[in-house]
Structure 1
Amino acid sequence: MIQTEKVLEFDRIKKMWSELALTEWAKEKIRDTSLCMSESELMAKQRETSEARELLEKNGNPPLVSLSGIRECVQTAVKGGCLSISQLEDVEKALVAVMRLKSYLSRSKQWEISLAYYEENLDYLDNLKEAIGQQIRNGRIDDNASKDLKSFRDEIERNERRMRERADAVIRANKESLSDSFSTLRNGHICIPVKKEYKYKIKGNVIDKSSTGSTVFIEPSSVGKYYEALQVLRVNEENEEHRILYSLSAMAADYGEILEQNISMIEKLDFIFSKGKLSLEYDGTEPKINTERYIRLEDGRHPLMALTECVPLQFEIGKSFDGVVITGPNTGGKTVAIKTVALNCMMAQCGLHVACKKAEICMNSNFLCDIGDGQNISENLSTFSAHMMNVLEILKRVNKDSLVIMDELGSGTDPTEGMGIAVAILEELQRSESLFLVTTHYPEVKQYADKKSRIKNAKMTFDKESLKPLYQLVIGEAGESCAFYIAGKMGMPEEMLKTAMKAAYGNDEIPEDLKQVVSKNHLENKRVCGIQKRKRRSRGAQKTQEFQLGDSVLVYPDKKIGIICRTANEKGVLRVQMADRKIWINHKRIKLYVAAEKLYPDDYDFSIIFDSVKNRKLRHQVDRGKTIEEEITIDD
């Protein structure tokens, strides 16, 4: 079912539907919605959807709320737990929502819509709502929630005021001993900031000190005597608050069963109204449900397509024929047509309205689909293999109450064999007595359908002048691929078209309405740029760029600068002096940067740069005619 929902895009319908619900229960029920197999139950579901839509149109959106966490609150209270202030406020908000929803449904009774009478199943528990509202306000227990609580809080306020007054009196009397002229609260005690050197001057308890240690925070003795009394009062206040919360929680527990009923009713109404909202989204209609294996759609649309993009579909199957074979050009809307039929039928059997002007829908035991190329790389299946695996699975599960749709029947293999397989599949579908819609390009399949009384050919219309599909389904006529018309209109010459027609049909006779067009067609050879081959030289003819001793060059790819210290040999390899070493490199990897003649005089002695001091001395001695026993080392 999940795979079929995805193929037919019912999963997208569910997503759109779920976004219109508020409660988690309704969203979960939408996700779990499946085909309804009871005729009476399905008719009741359709009636609910229609009434919800009618109420939405006449009375606007109902005041539904999400009820997040309310059921958990009620369960906690029933088990004897104490609800927090925020939880009790949530219960109160839920009861307010119940009251508003009850009022909404009560007003709706004037139109005598049965859905409005769900109002009688709601009880907003005025006693509980008022009790919570009176004792809890703005996120805290109200002072007037009880006499004792008021008394404790008043006494706490008086004590805190006296403590401040005593602290202020000490500050006024000891200004020169203090770091600041105001009291502060430290660890729950009212303290005054006293300079370290005067801490023994102020009677009281040291509660804290500053980070530098230069200031100590002292609770004066005149203040401290109130602290213990204040702590007792706060314990009493806390105990009284807990008593009030337990009392309200117990009251909620007493009404636990009614609260659960309210929650369940709101969730149910949320689900029902979400169906009405969805119907308004795509302007749906309640279909007539039958078990007579008959489907008729008048002005059918795909619910996920914009109204402006849809060409209304007229479709009928089940009375005089059980199967439809749809043919026509590619991009002509064949796949959209069969998906529109199947998707509307699936929606109807899930209790939703259909995207049609009028519709009669039969109940189906299952929906069996083979759409898309189905190629499965992970299982190493080709398009045809995947198709066949899916088709065989469909044939195992099909029965007389199934609705089957197959796209491009027998495609993905040799045309002759594919045609034979397509016919065999149609024979098997006929034998099952199911309702089926298939699309194909095989002319032999069209001829086969013509000979069968319970199968009808159908075509998607095509405008031969504009070469555009019209997306209209015509049952009772076989469609054409229109390939020759499209090729001729697009400029295929007459001779090529004759060759194509002879190969396809055994004769090269071109239809009259196409002759005038193709007779003017011819192929013009357009000039395109030719390939330019590089000039090849023999190895002996290759020349190296001549670099001179002392030339400054760039060494690629890093573009570092070096100096030629030995010119190229017969292989075009040079010696280059880099900043930190000498390297051998092919002449193709260097580029002249500055010529030696611009850097050095004509008689410049390059041995100053390239030779070691030792070698230069030995060469100097040789030049003066001296005999030397040491060898002059050449750096290679």
Structure 2
Amino acid sequence: MHHHTTLEFDKIKQLLADQALSDQGKACCLALAPSVNEAEVKRCLDETTQAKRMLQQTGTPPLPSMTQLQKAIVLIEIDALLMPEQIVQVATFLVACRRMKAYLKKAEAADAPIAWYGEGINALPGLEHEIARCIRNNAVDDQASEQLAAIRRRMEGTVAAVKTKLAALLRKNKAWFSESFVSLRNGRYTLPVKREHKNDVAGTIVDLSQTGATCFIEPAAVGRLQSELAALQMEEDNEVRRILYSLTAHIADNLAIIRVNIETMEKLDFLFAKGKLSLTMNAAPVSINAGREIRLIKARHPLLPPAAAIPLDFAIGAQTTGVIITGPNTGGKTVALKTIGLLSLMAQSGLHVPADEDSSLCLHNLILCDIGDKQSIKENLSTFSSHMKNIIEILEQANHESLVLLDELGSGTDPAEGMGLAVAILDELSAQKCLFVVTTHYSEIKAYAANKPGLVNARMAFDKESLLPLYRLEIGKAGDSCALYIAERLGMQPHLILRAHAAAYGVAQGVAKPAQPPQRAPDQKNGRPVPRIEREKPPAPTSCRGKFAVGDSVMVYPHKEIGIVYAGANARGEVGVQLRDSKKIINHKRLKLQVAASELYPDNYDFSIVFDSVTNRKARKLMEKRHVKDTVLIVKEGDEQN
């Protein structure tokens, strides 16, 4: 839908997606499309209004992101065991469901039907409580089961006994140890024994320090306790896994309810995103009329800063099917076109629009546009062809239920033919009875619109005192480009203004002929001195012309290098010489003829064999015969005289 992109509806959808929290909510925002169903559009607009009112009256809803929750559900579907942190994500979601249910219950008093979405949320308090009892700080809690609590109490007692024995050994033989504390290495409690005393401590070396000066030894005196501790750790691990499997199964049993809750939360996320966007844009709901009528009051382009956007008042419909907007460049014509189209797309998509609540919009089966904001550096034919291709497609698609927006109609080609095409296109749009808004600079189009039933002129207001556009649309009045007035105010000489007026509109009344420019001294303009161009004096002719011919073998001084002339002397007496590894331009006074070309080569010899690359020779011959697209002749600096 390139028309939607031209109107920047994709940017509105991205702004909407930024307001959503869940991945699915963001996806719904980005997939938003205008509807042609009147009842659906009104329902969606009403939902946005309710969401906005709830945000204003009840505050921000407790919506979760749900990104990690989806990963946990995928694991449940493949019968995998959930880890504590994944179970916590489920618990977080259930808490959000409980809070959202309470939030919506409170909003029911605001007479917002979307608050009844809360009836579809099952908070599963039993599951939430069970998870909270068993999991704390992303780990299985001691109180998850009596057996786990007993195992961990025994583990604590065993660890205390191990530490007590090791501390006694540390105190008894301090000279053997590099540190005065017990160290835990590879899951075993050890003593830091100096390397030279490692044989004094009976036990097993568990680890070495980085320098190798310390051996971490598990003394044999605590070996039995360490084995008991290892056995208890295995029991603990088994009990923890049993509890996690139990919780995972509990979640799986309620997976269907959780899925329904997720869908409800994603729907609410989307609805509240629309409400948040409305608040951000200071937008309002507009009425949707059954007729073919657009009435915008104090409308603003939603992507412009509110302080910089000039409110737009616009109306079309009833007896008027087309509006022709004229006015100076940068006067706001294109922004007005985009505002009309973009606000129509937003309303048909169920979004509030930045306009007065008394505004009214109708539905369009298609919103078609040809709008170019940037000047093209391509040929006029290419630019014009692009516009014409787009307009032809528009004429083929548009009907009596469409909205067509055309910017600078007929531009980019001969003015007379462009004006003729513009009139023909406007006639066709009028015959199709679609609503259309067109901007143009052609004065003939203004007269055409003034006399064509169903069309009306409009202009972008311009302040002739400040020479600044006012960005205010005035319907019923034809505008002009103000080019001559602006030029005059900026100081262009009166005789030039009169001459321009005569060329554009014919000789002005009371003026027999264009005024003659005042006579001035050649070095004066408006009383100010004007710099004069100093021409370069031609170089004195040299006597070396003809002294050296292409193909001559020459000696180059002072290095006495042998070279071959590839270009004769220029006006400065410089000769092109091909040396062993490069081509150079050398003053003729540094050259001495060794062997003339006539003695080295036959008559009409093709010197490109000597001086040109194989690629260049082929390209040159090909280009001498005909034009070949993408064929390039590479000429290095110094070769151009060849």
TM superposition score category, shorter chain reference:
0.7 to 0.9
In structure 1, the gaps of 5 or more residues are 512-517, 541-570, 572-584, 587-636
Q: For 1:54 and 1:183, how far apart are their aligned partners in 2?
A: 64
Q: For 1:442 and 1:206, how far apart are their aligned partners in 2?
A: 96
Aligned-pair distance for 1:239? 0.6
Q: For 2:480 and 2:510, how far apart are their aligned partners in 1?
A: 15
The equivalent residue for 2:329 is 330
The equivalent residue for 2:530 is 528
Letter in 1 for 2:274: K
Q: For 2:375 and 2:485, how far apart are their aligned partners in 1?
A: 31
8 Å CA contact 1:376, 1:382 repeated in 2 = no
Alpha-carbon spacing, 1:428–1:178, altered in 2? closer, same or farther (3 Å): same
1:389-423 residue CA offsets vs partner (Å, 9 max, x unmatched): 11112112212211110011101111111100101
8 Å CA contact 1:17, 1:275 repeated in 2 = yes
The equivalent residue for 1:459 is 459
Q: For 2:469 and 2:183, how far apart are their aligned partners in 1?
A: 84
8 Å CA contact 2:190, 2:206 repeated in 1 = yes
Aligned-pair distance for 1:381? 6.2
8 Å CA contact 1:143, 1:150 repeated in 2 = yes
The equivalent residue for 1:592 is none
Identity across matched positions, percent: 44
Q: For 1:38 and 1:379, how far apart are their aligned partners in 2?
A: 43
8 Å CA contact 2:104, 2:116 repeated in 1 = yes
Q: For 2:107 and 2:177, how far apart are their aligned partners in 1?
A: 73
Aligned-pair distance for 1:214? 5.4
Residue 443 (str. 1) matches residue 450 (str. 2)? no
| Structure exhibiting the larger radius of gyration computed from Cα positions | 1
Q: TM-score, normalised by structure 2?
A: 0.78
8 Å CA contact 2:380, 2:412 repeated in 1 = no
Q: For 2:378 and 2:249, how far apart are their aligned partners in 1?
A: 60
The equivalent residue for 1:119 is 118
Q: TM-score, normalised by structure 1?
A: 0.79
Aligned-pair distance for 1:197? 5.2
SS in 2 for 1:69: helix
Alpha-carbon spacing, 1:175–1:55, altered in 2? closer, same or farther (3 Å): closer
Moved more, 482-491 or 335-344: 482-491
Q: For 1:275 and 1:151, how far apart are their aligned partners in 2?
A: 53
The equivalent residue for 1:597 is none
Q: For 2:371 and 2:482, how far apart are their aligned partners in 1?
A: 23
Aligned-pair distance for 1:209? 4.3
The equivalent residue for 1:547 is none
Alpha-carbon spacing, 1:470–1:180, altered in 2? closer, same or farther (3 Å): closer
Alpha-carbon spacing, 1:291–1:149, altered in 2? closer, same or farther (3 Å): same
SS in 1 for 2:533: coil
SS in 2 for 1:297: strand
Q: For 1:306 and 1:365, how far apart are their aligned partners in 2?
A: 30
Aligned-pair distance for 1:500? 2.0
The equivalent residue for 1:340 is 339
The equivalent residue for 2:230 is 231
SS in 1 for 2:437: strand
SS in 2 for 1:19: helix
SS in 2 for 1:230: helix
The equivalent residue for 2:624 is none
Q: How does 1:614-629 map to 2 (within 5 A)?
A: none
8 Å CA contact 2:370, 2:406 repeated in 1 = yes
SS in 1 for 2:529: coil
The equivalent residue for 2:493 is 493
Aligned-pair distance for 1:22? 1.0
SS in 2 for 1:185: strand
Aligned-pair distance for 1:79? 4.2
Letter in 1 for 2:463: D
Moved more, 495-504 or 57-66: 495-504
Aligned-pair distance for 1:510? 7.9
The equivalent residue for 2:107 is 108
Q: How does 1:101-250 map to 2 (within 5 A)?
A: 101-196=100-195, 198-210=197-209, 215-250=214-249
1:511-570 residue CA offsets vs partner (Å, 9 max, x unmatched): 9xxxxxx99xx9726323223346678589xxxxxxxxxxxxxxxxxxxxxxxxxxxxxx
Aligned-pair distance for 1:177? 4.1
The equivalent residue for 2:304 is 305
8 Å CA contact 1:375, 1:382 repeated in 2 = no
Letter in 2 for 1:524: N
Aligned-pair distance for 1:504? 1.9
Aligned-pair distance for 1:350? 0.8
The equivalent residue for 2:479 is 479
Moved more, 196-205 or 384-393: 196-205
Aligned-pair distance for 1:375? 7.5
8 Å CA contact 2:297, 2:313 repeated in 1 = yes
The equivalent residue for 2:563 is none
Please provide the CA RMSD for this pair: 2.9
The equivalent residue for 2:288 is 289
8 Å CA contact 1:74, 1:252 repeated in 2 = no
8 Å CA contact 1:348, 1:354 repeated in 2 = yes
Q: For 2:179 and 2:309, how far apart are their aligned partners in 1?
A: 80
1:24-57 residue CA offsets vs partner (Å, 9 max, x unmatched): 1111111111111221111110000111111111
SS in 1 for 2:359: strand
The equivalent residue for 2:392 is 392
